[in-house]
């Protein structure tokens, strides 16, 4: 088990012929009955991840269904969460922090160019591969933006823009930018 989220477990898997490691997000279909909006949210996440192709965004590989489970196969980011990386080091050299931030900004620029907003940017949703390259993950709150404002309050309070927390209409692209500012602070602050 690599981790557990609100929708299910993430386990390490591998291709039996090539040995390639993958992350498998396993969601019990019974949770769809308990949380009526969850199925729509997961289907939207899958639909968005199918079209996203960027070196700093976790790659969607495939999706499988059984009677009881939905399994989303994703690229495996061996070095885990940026959050854990920051905690274990207490601080980052400025050059490393700026390199991480540049990669995050490039990924968000790509998403916004394609009218997609992440809406839950935080170090826990930013992973590192075996070369410590950034991989943006967890598109559960992501949306294709059809208009410049939305009202859904989502994301993590410590990283969310004030208007998101207050539950008033907000520009989701600007809310992502706010979260980037908080992440930059986290990358440069000495704990």
Phi and psi at residue 23, to the nearest 5°: -100, 135
Distance, in Å, from the CA atom of 55 to the CA atom of 106, rounded to the nearest integer, reads 9
Q: Which of 177, 155, 143 is CA-nearest to residue 41?
A: 143
Measured at the alpha carbon of residue 53, what is the angle toward residues 80 and 3, in degrees to the nearest 5?
25
Distance, in Å, from the CA atom of 188 to the CA atom of 93, rounded to the nearest integer, reads 8
How many CB atoms are closer than 10 A to CB 136?
24
Distance, in Å, from the CA atom of 2 to the CA atom of 124, rounded to the nearest integer, reads 13
Q: Of the listed 84, 120, 138, 176, which one is catalytic? A: 120
* Helix residue ranges per DSSP H, the chain: 30-34, 38-51, 82-89, 94-113, 162-166, 172-188
For this structure, is 120 an active site residue? yes
* Distance between first and last Cα of the chain: 29
User: Mind telling me the catalytic residues?
Assistant: 120
């Amino acid at each position: 088990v690599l981790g557990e989220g609100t929708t299910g477990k993430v386990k390490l898997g591998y291709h039996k012929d090539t040995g390639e490691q993958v992350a498998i997000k396993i969601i019990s279909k019974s949770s769809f009955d308990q949380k009526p909006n969850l199925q729509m949210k997961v289907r939207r996440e899958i639909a968005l991840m199918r079209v996203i192709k960027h070196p700093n965004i976790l790659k969607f590989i495939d999706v499988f269904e059984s009677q009881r489970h939905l399994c989303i196969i994703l690229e495996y980011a061996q070095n885990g969460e940026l959050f854990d990386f920051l905690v274990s080091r207490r601080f980052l050299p400025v050059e490393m922090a700026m390199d991480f931030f540049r990669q995050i900004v490039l990924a968000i620029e790509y998403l916004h160019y394609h009218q997609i907003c992440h809406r839950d940017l935080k170090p826990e949703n930013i992973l590192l591969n075996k070369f410590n390259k950034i991989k943006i993950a967890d598109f559960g709150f992501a949306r294709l933006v059809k208009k410049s404002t939305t009202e859904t309050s989502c994301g993590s309070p410590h990283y969310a823009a004030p208007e998101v927390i207050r539950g008033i209409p907000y520009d989701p692209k600007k809310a992502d930018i706010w979260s980037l500012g908080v992440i930059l602070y986290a990358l440069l602050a000495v704990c």
